[in-house]
Structures are given as C-alpha cells and as structure tokens.
Amino acid sequence: MNEQNIISKYVPNFITLPSLSCGFTSIRFSLNGEIVIAIYLILLATIFDFFDGWFARKLKSKSNFGAELDSLSDFVSFGVAPSFLIYLWSTNTLGSLGWGATLFFVICSALRLARFTADIYITNKPIDDNEYFVGLPSPAAAGLILLPLFIFFEFDFDFLKNEYLNLVITVIIGIMMISKIPTISLKTIQINQRYKTWIFLIFVIVCVALISKIWLTLVLVLSLYLLSIIYTVFKTR
C-alpha cells in the first residue's frame, strides 16, 4: 500500500474525531448552562459527521474500524449530548422520571447504532446503503429532540419548556430510532446534472439562512424532514 493510499484510508477517521470531540465538549457546556454553545457544538459535530462519510465514499476507504469509530462518535454527539442537554433544560425537574427518559433515549441510540454496525459484519453492506434508512438516524434524532428548543429560541413559546412535553418527545424519538420505519437517505440520491446548479443554489441559500436566522432555519428544515418521514412511510407501504 503506497503512502497516498494510507493517507486516504485514514482521512475519514481523522474527520470523525473532531465530531466526537464536539459532542463530548457539548456536554461540558450544557453542564455550565451555556446551552447555545452546546447546541452549536452538536451542529458542528453534524457537519463533521457528514464529511467523514462523504470522504469515505469518495476515497473508497470504508472500513470496519471507521464504522465502529463513527458509531461511537454518533453515540456521544447525537445520543448522549442532545438528550443530556434537554434533561438539563427541561426534564430534570421530573427527577428520576426525567432521567429515565434521558436514559431511554441514550439506550435507543446505542441500539440503533449497534444494529447499523452489526449489519456491516453480517452482510458486509450497511442497511443504510439502501434507498431508505431503517429507523430514525441518530443525527436526525438529535435534531428532532432539540426541535422544541429551537422553536423556543425563535418564538419564545414558554409551553415548549414543559417537562412532560419534552419527556414524551424524548421517548417517542427514542422509539423511532429503534423502529423499522423508513426514513429518507440522502446518500443514495442521484442528482441529475441539469439540476446540480439549482441544488447548489439551494445549499447556498440554506447556509446563508443558517448564519442569519439559525433557529428559524433549523425549525423549517426539521419540519420538512418530519414531512419526508410521513411521505416515505406511505410510499413504502
């Protein structure tokens, strides 16, 4: 194996490590009550998570080691960090009940990622390489569990901080992760050449919107994602 191939093999893993670091550091800021910074770190972890997979596919450097490391990173960044943030922001007032919901979400995240990794060893092809994900992916679950917080920041609706509401949302999203509902996978979407300019333009608009109106943009994107779940469920029936 030449030097270039060795570098290509480990590039995705070096991108995964910052994702793991962002997720773990998010927990620290949550504990310090700096919720906005904690959210930014989870969002940053999402960006790293996207690019480690993108580089792995482009460089053809997928490996079992990389899959294991990616799952560990996802567990911390999209399982532990967001659920702990919601616990500190809202459900901690319920005591053991609130902590139980947090643990349930974390366990569901672990099971979802374990199912993904186990399938690699069994079939040598992740189930998520199919047209649809099986169950809610952990990054999407992180976004959805934080959705009430995003809406709260944008519209200042106090009822969204209700501990029982967030407990129910936490449990439902946890169940969605370990379920077998089909959810859209962007990995397998083939974009027609004539639409690439428009796709790039939409991407730029979303990036600008995230910079200028981050909470509103996240609310809109996640709302569209929820609609896509309904669409895929009916499409695959």
Query: Which sequence spans correspond to the domains of the chain?
Result: 3-190
Least confident of 8-12, 61-65, 90-94, 117-121: 117-121
At 45-69, the pLDDT tens digits run: 999 998 887 777 777 777 777 788 8
Q: Could you tell me the pLDDT band of residue 8, with boundaries at 50, 70 and 90?
A: low
β-pair partners for 150: none
Q: Could you tell me the pLDDT band of residue 115, with boundaries at 50, 70 and 90?
A: confident
What's CA 226's distance to the chain center, in Å? 14
Using alpha carbons, select from 210, 231, 84, 227 the residue that is nearest to residue 150: 210
* 3-state class (DSSP) for residue 83: helix
Q: Report, as an integer, the average pLDDT of 133-160.
A: 94
pLDDT given at position 191: 59
Q: Token match 């609310």: residue?
A: 219
Q: Is residue 35's pLDDT more than 70? A: yes
Rounded to the nearest integer, the mean pLDDT of the chain is: 86
Q: Is residue 100's pLDDT more than 70? A: yes
| Other residues' Cβ atoms within 10 Å of the Cβ of residue 130 | 13
Q: Is residue 123's pLDDT more than 90? A: no
Higher pLDDT, 94 or 192: 94
Pairing of strands 132-134, 182-184: antiparallel
- Contact at 8 Å (CB) between 90 and 155? no
- Contact at 8 Å (CB) between 21 and 43? no
Give the span between the Cα atoms of 48 and 14, in whole angstroms: 10
pLDDT given at position 195: 62
Higher pLDDT, 81 or 122: 81
Q: Is residue 74's pLDDT more than 70? A: yes
Q: Could you tell me the pLDDT band of residue 120, with boundaries at 50, 70 and 90?
A: low
Higher pLDDT, 198 or 92: 92
Query: CA 41, 145, 138, 200: dihedral to nearest 10 degrees?
Result: -70
Q: Report, as an integer, the average pLDDT of 75-104.
A: 96
Give the span between the Cα atoms of 142 and 138, in whole angstroms: 6
pLDDT given at position 39: 97
Q: Report, as an integer, the average pLDDT of 58-84.
A: 87
pLDDT given at position 47: 92
pLDDT given at position 139: 94
- Contact at 8 Å (CB) between 9 and 63? yes
Q: Is residue 72's pLDDT more than 70? A: yes
| Other residues' Cβ atoms within 10 Å of the Cβ of residue 210 | 15
Give the span between the Cα atoms of 79 and 56, in whole angstroms: 22
Using alpha carbons, select from 78, 84, 88, 90 the residue that is nearest to residue 33: 88
In CATH, what number does 3-190 get? Answer: 1.20.120.1760
Q: Could you tell me the pLDDT band of residue 43, with boundaries at 50, 70 and 90?
A: very high
At 189-223, the pLDDT tens digits run: 555 666 667 666 777 887 787 788 999 999 999 99
